[in-house]
Amino acid sequence: MNHLLDANTLIEAKNRYYGMAICPGFWQWLLLKNKALALASIAPVMDELTKGHDDLAGWAKDNTDFFHSTTDQDTQLAFMHVAGLVADQAHKMKVGAMDEFLAGADPWLIAKAMTTGATVVTHEVLNLDAKRKFIIPNICQKLDVPFLNTFELLHRLEAKFVLPA
């Protein structure tokens, strides 16, 4: 897989510009690109999504192959590297920021990207002055993990959602 999607890319798409009822082509495109190994997500993201009781939770439950495991040894070791970096930076952050970050899917997403050479896809924006919470692009930059947003991904993979004539 070349790109790994953060939960916020799927949640924002569902809630806003690619609602499942108004743009089913987006969701079909995700599955096609997943089969072509161009993109995926990870099991901890699926866990976050399936806590809900909406269409996205159903989509995630119906497409479990879209979400890759993070239990492999390489990803576990990479997670330790991510956690170490976060621990080193914790003194600069709000109390509890480290625990909050490490409890979610984000460090696993970065760790999986490190082990697979994937680009992380997130709506979070690089902000080196952030003190309230750890931000995926900040951690990615420190670890030389590439990242981009959904719209950059759509351009990179030349997505086209065309209505039939």
pLDDT tens, the chain, 165 aa long: 799 999 999 999 999 999 999 999 999 999 999 999 999 999 999 999 999 899 999 999 999 999 999 999 999 999 999 999 999 999 999 999 999 999 999 999 999 999 999 999 999 999 988 899 999 999 999 999 999 999 999 999 999 988 877
Domain 3-156 grouped into CATH 3.40.50.1010: yes
DSSP collapsed to 3 states, the chain: CCEEECHHHHHHHHHCCCCCCCCHHHHHHHHHHHHCCCEEEEHHHHHHHCCCCCHHHHHHHHCHHHEECCCCHHHHHHHHHHHHHHHHHHHHCCCCHHHHHHHCCHHHHHHHHHHHCCEEECCCCCCCCCCCCCCHHHHHHHCCCCEECHHHHHHHCCCCCCCCC
